Amino acid sequence: MTFDRLRVYEAGRFYDTPLPDWYHEVNRLSEMENVDWHRAFERVVGCAYTLLTEEGLLSASLEIRFWPSETHGILVLIETPPGLVEQVVIPNPADWLPFLSTYLAPLMASSAQFANAMMLARIGNALIARARHGDGPHMDRETGESRIDRENDWKRRRAERLRAAAAQHSDGGAA
């Protein structure tokens, strides 16, 4: 997780600043001593993070953590499984609530809505699979889809391709 600038939110606006010394120390500790970046940050700044997006409540694709440090302000990390999306430092604690309500709350709400939509799709798939084929090991635990339906779809697409190839071959032989 290395960047050359740090985003700062202060008095309702954003600006970028060069990385402070403590940030370089976090990167050094993480890379040289093979410490998780989040744990390295805790050691350098002297405070533990709070996870705003609890596992199981929001989409697993979004994590928002913040570290409230008395000396360095509040550092917010927004991450997805592929990597870091944004990092913001809020030097003045009075700016935390406006930042949270204006930027983080809508992001968390949209992530939660996406997670709910995905869960409803999974439930719908499971209900359809059960209605078609009954209970059994044919239902995929992750998607709720029926393996029987997938196999039947594959066979149908394969038969369509074979018919199309046969039709093309018979048209080509007549010309």
Could you report the per-residue pLDDT of 74-92, keeping only the tens digit for each? 999 888 877 788 899 999 9
H or E stretch covering 121: helix 105-133
Q: Which of 7-21, 38-52, 157-171 has maximum average pLDDT?
A: 7-21
Mean pLDDT of 25-53: 86
Closest CA to 45 of 66, 18, 59: 66
The confidence band for 130, taking pLDDT boundaries of 50, 70 and 90, is confident
The confidence band for 57, taking pLDDT boundaries of 50, 70 and 90, is very low
Q: How many CB atoms lie within 10 A of CB 148?
A: 14
Alpha carbon 21 to its chain centroid, in Å, reads 29
Alpha carbon 150 to its chain centroid, in Å, reads 27
Distance, in Å, from the CA atom of 149 to the CA atom of 139, rounded to the nearest integer, reads: 10
Closest CA to 129 of 143, 117, 115, 145: 145
Give the pLDDT of residue 56. 46
pTM > 0.85: no
Q: For the segment 96-122, what is each residue's pLDDT rounded down to a tens digit? A: 999 999 999 998 888 888 878 888 888
Mean pLDDT of 158-168: 89
* Token pair listed for 66: 């913040």
